[in-house]
């Protein structure tokens, strides 16, 4: 994480040296795809990035297709969208299978002694263990699906969290100053480490407030497995239910009159814990498996950014959040950057 952030900061610094002052920060946060790609595929991360770009195109197409008329079985209809979706899906799977097969072959022909300690290596080890000690439950198709899910679930969400948080800190200079003072005090000029992260309390509050105002996953789809009552409502088995995270996070009834304002202090109370009102990572047994990873990543990147640059929101920024499965800034987030130690 630190290495990838250093690279990103260096490219910002180089651009500043060449005279650029304004940046669409979302573009830089998205470039940090390297982090999830290296976590999953270690040295094959360049190929992983290629997969990510295809998955992004796939997401866009699925969102566009979902706006069109749906009728039973329409997803099997050979429309323009469905054909493009199918061909992208096949290309993603081909690339993933290439990475997986290559890793497997290296061990089988003795070129390497282990599958490695990235996510793919762990999954392949697990597949091997299960094969040796009992009923076989993981196969290459499942491993490929897991890799896809982690990529899809773990990159854009974090990039959006970072982009919105930078927008909020750029628009609220007093909070930016407070967080910078905290980072300087805790890290004392060093790169943030695992020991530093729990001490960055203000940064944690700011990130939580950003997740409340702009939860990357705006709805959670669920299906009732059995008939049940919800207040006065009868919910029949099989009904599809969408939990409106964005609406819950902005409810005045739950958060008070300032529900739409940026106020990280609401997360200051030690007794605050994520629950029914605050569900950016969902809740219950199917909540986000990567939430600790995401929070760690966000803290490291923001701490490093804030100690290198002072940022203000640009006059060209147009506030236009749009929902395309996730919540994105339609025209990007333009900020003005000033290096702190030129």
- Which residues are near ligand HEM by CB under 6 A? 149-150, 153-154, 157-158, 161, 216-217, 220-221, 280-282, 286, 288-290, 293-294
203 and 168 in contact (C-beta within 8 Å)? no
We find the least distance from the C-beta atom of residue 293 to ligand HEM, in angstroms, to be: 4
We find the least distance from the C-beta atom of residue 113 to ligand HEM, in angstroms, to be: 26
175 and 264 in contact (C-beta within 8 Å)? yes
We find the least distance from the C-beta atom of residue 39 to ligand HEM, in angstroms, to be: 7
Tokens of 9: 């900061």
| Residue number with CB closer to ligand HEM (138 or 310) | 138
Q: Any idea what DSSP says for residue 217?
A: B
| Residue number with CB closer to ligand HEM (314 or 321) | 321
CB proximity list for 42: less than 8 A, separation 6 or greater:
116, 117, 118, 120, 121
We find the least distance from the C-beta atom of residue 299 to ligand HEM, in angstroms, to be: 12
42 and 119 in contact (C-beta within 8 Å)? no
At 196 the three-state DSSP class reads: coil
| Residue number with CB closer to ligand HEM (287 or 316) | 287
298 and 158 in contact (C-beta within 8 Å)? yes
Task: Identify any residues that bridge with 234 across adjacent strands, giving them in sequence order.
Answer: 229
Tokens of 126: 């697990």
Q: What is each CA distance from 212 to 173, 241, 298, in whole angstroms?
A: 19, 21, 15
List the helix and strand counts (H, then E) for the chain: 13, 9
We find the least distance from the C-beta atom of residue 183 to ligand HEM, in angstroms, to be: 20
We find the least distance from the C-beta atom of residue 16 to ligand HEM, in angstroms, to be: 27
Q: Give the largest Cα separation in the chain, rounded.
A: 65
| Residue number with CB closer to ligand HEM (181 or 239) | 239
The residue number with the shortest CB distance to ligand HEM is: 290
Report the alpha-carbon distance of residue 45 to residue 301 in Å, rounded.
19
Report the alpha-carbon distance of residue 154 to residue 34 in Å, rounded.
11
- Residue 43 marked ligand-binding: no
28 and 11 in contact (C-beta within 8 Å)? yes
| Residue number with CB closer to ligand HEM (13 or 146) | 146
| Residue number with CB closer to ligand HEM (112 or 141) | 141
| Residue number with CB closer to ligand HEM (245 or 315) | 245
We find the least distance from the C-beta atom of residue 232 to ligand HEM, in angstroms, to be: 26
We find the least distance from the C-beta atom of residue 216 to ligand HEM, in angstroms, to be: 4
**Segments of the chain assigned E as strands:** 22-24, 219-223, 228-230, 233-235, 240-244, 309-313, 321-324, 326-329, 334-339
| Residue number with CB closer to ligand HEM (262 or 293) | 293
Question: Which residues participate in the annotated binding site?
Answer: 288
Question: Which residues participate in the annotated binding site for heme?
Answer: 288
């Amino acid at each position: 994480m630190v290495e990838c952030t250093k690279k990103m900061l260096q490219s910002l610094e180089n651009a500043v040296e060449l005279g650029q002052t304004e940046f669409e920060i979302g573009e830089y946060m998205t470039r940090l795809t390297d982090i999830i790609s290296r976590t999953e595929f270690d040295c094959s991360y360049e190929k992983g990035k290629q997969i990510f770009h295809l998955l992004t195109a796939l997401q866009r197409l699925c969102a566009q297709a979902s706006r069109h008329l749906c009728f039973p079985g329409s997803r099997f209809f050979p429309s323009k969208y469905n054909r493009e979706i199918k061909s992208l899906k096949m290309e993603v799977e081909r690339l993933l299978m290439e990475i997986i097969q290559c890793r497997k072959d290296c061990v089988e022909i003795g070129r390497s002694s282990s599958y490695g300690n990235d996510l793919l290596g762990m999954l392949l080890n697990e597949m091997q263990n299960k094969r040796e000690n009992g009923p076989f439950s993981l196969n290459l198709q499942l491993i490929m699906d897991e890799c896809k899910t982690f990529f899809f679930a773990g990159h854009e969400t974090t990039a959006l969290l970072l982009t919105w948080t930078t927008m909020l800190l750029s628009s609220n200079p007093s909070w930016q100053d407070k967080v910078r003072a905290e980072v300087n005090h805790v890290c004392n000029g060093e790169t943030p480490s695992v020991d530093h992260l729990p001490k960055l309390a203000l940064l944690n509050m700011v990130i939580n407030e950003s997740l409340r105002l702009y939860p990357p996953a705006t709805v959670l789809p669920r299906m009732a497995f059995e008939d049940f009552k919800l207040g006065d409502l009868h919910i029949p088995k099989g009904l599809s239910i969408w939990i409106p995270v964005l609406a819950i996070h902005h409810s005045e009834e739950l958060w008070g009159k300032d529900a739409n304002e940026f106020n990280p202090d609401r997360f200051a109370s030690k007794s605050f814990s994520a629950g029914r009102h605050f569900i950016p990572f969902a809740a219950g047994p199917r909540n986000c498996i990567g939430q600790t990873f995401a929070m760690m990543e966000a803290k490291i990147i923001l701490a490093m950014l804030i100690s290198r640059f002072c940022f203000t929101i640009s006059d060209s920024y147009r506030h236009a959040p749009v929902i395309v499965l996730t919540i994105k800034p339609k025209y990007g987030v333009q900020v003005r950057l000033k290096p702190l130690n030129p």
